[in-house]
Amino acid sequence: MVSARMVALGISAGVLGIFVAGTAALGGAQAGSSSAVGTESGERTIEDGGTGPYKAIAVSNSSISTHTIYRPKDLSAFGDREKLPMLAWGNGGCANSNSGHQNYLSEIASHGYLIVAIGPNQPAGARGARGGPGAGGAAPAAPAPAPAAAPPAAPAPSGGTLLEAINWATAQNANAQSPYYRKIDTSKVAVFGHSCGGLQALEVSPDPRVKTTLVVDSGILNSPGAAPGAAPAAAAAPRGPAGPDGAAAGAPGGAARGGAGGGALPGMPPLTKEHLAKLHSPVFYLLGGETDIAYVNGMDDFKRIEKLPVFVANKGVGHGGTFTQPHGGDWAMASTAWLDWQFKGNAEAGKLFTGNPPGLARKDGWTVDKKNIP
């Protein structure tokens, strides 16, 4: 039954169904061919493959064609001595395309991570429709012959789609015929996402396999009647540059999308602040400062999380972050450092988040806060 609170948020019964279907799969295998060994194709090198020690590529895999895999090109470096932590990524706007985030994702992968990102493998600039893989674009100059009936649109990406990524990687690691056999560290799983994708990451974070969550330019709604990310009525946020999901970086709350304004989207989890009590592992909030339309929600999440290690970092770049900058810019730098500290025990990376003040606070333009972190 859809409650009045959900109706106030614009959450339809259909979207609620997506949420229930996704969360019902927490910790369990999903239907499909996640254990099958697929054929990889469409290999692409983003920029120069990243600045990390392992040049990264983006590929498709026929056993999970709904996603894009970002990984080191040479898998021979990984095995019993060194394994790949596994990351599942959700896109801004709950879109079915990760092309606007590919510099960022490739850079992180080059530091020795396997990323399974929602959306099929597409070149930069492709716009995956919500609920389907097609890219947007201008209308043709002349009418084309009537096409055959299009297949039904794919279900809108949801938190359950992130679980599919985790399930697939887990199965591949156990399959002796897979190129990923025994190369993935299934004890080191992270979920992360931008804007609406950050909400999807939070949705599945209670899964016991998830060992850390990165919430990028996002946060759970502050009040049932407001659009996600809406600023208080007395203070409308200034506008900023457009983000990779097409949302204006500093648009007023009702104008933007994806966990940061504009009401419910297909695939957007109907989370309330009570959901934060279900989290069980360290959380990193990465926000674009006060012009980020997700700033109010993200900072409020940080204040409400009491018992877990939680870190919030702000830099005044707005809601669009630095995803499209060379090698993902500061967002990739900070995200990689957090992951290296959490998953690889990299003490140097950890200095950005520990101490008083933390090392990240000493970098130009950053403001930070932390709880339950030395």
Residue 243 has a pLDDT of 47
What does the domain layout of the chain look like in residue ranges? 4-29+38-124+154-371
Computed over its alpha carbons, how large is the radius of gyration of the chain?
Answer: 19
Concatenate the DSSP letters of all residues of 170-220 into one string.
Answer: HHHHH-TTSTTTTTEEEEEEEEEEETHHHHHHHHHTTSTTEEEEEEES---
Q: Give tens-digit pLDDT for 306-362.
A: 999 999 999 999 999 999 999 999 999 999 999 999 999 999 999 999 999 999 999
Instruction: Please state which CATH number belongs to domain 4-29+38-124+154-371.
Output: 3.40.50.1820
Enter the tokens of residue 337: 């450092």
Q: Extract the tokens encoding 369.
A: 């806060």
Q: How many Cα atoms are found within 13 Å in the side-chain-facing hemisphere of 179? A: 14
Q: Vertex 214, ends 213 and 218: CA angle to 5°?
A: 120
111 within 8 A of 344, measured Cβ to Cβ: no
Q: Which residue has the tokens 């229930």?
A: 20
Q: What pLDDT is attached to residue 37?
A: 87
Instruction: Please tell me the predicted confidence (pLDDT) of residue 153.
Output: 56
End-to-end CA distance of the chain: 44
CB atoms within 10 A of CB 43: 12
Residue with tokens 């599942």: 88
pLDDT of residue 36: 85
| Joined tokens for residue 101 | 């985030």
pLDDT at residue 362 in the model: 97
3-state secondary structure of 248: strand
Give residue 218's pLDDT. 98
Q: What is the pLDDT of residue 160?
A: 83
Q: Is the peptide bond before 374 cis (omega within 30 degrees of 0)?
A: no
Residues with pLDDT less than 70, the chain: 1-33, 125-155, 223-263
Q: Which pLDDT tens digit goes with each residue over 35-64? A: 788 899 999 999 999 999 999 999 999 999
CA pair distance 312, 301, nearest whole angstrom: 10
pLDDT, residue 159, reads 73
Exposed/middle/buried for residue 13 (C-beta within 10 Å: 0-12, 13-18, 19+) = exposed
Task: Give me the pLDDT at residue 149, please.
Answer: 52
pLDDT for the residue 158? 76
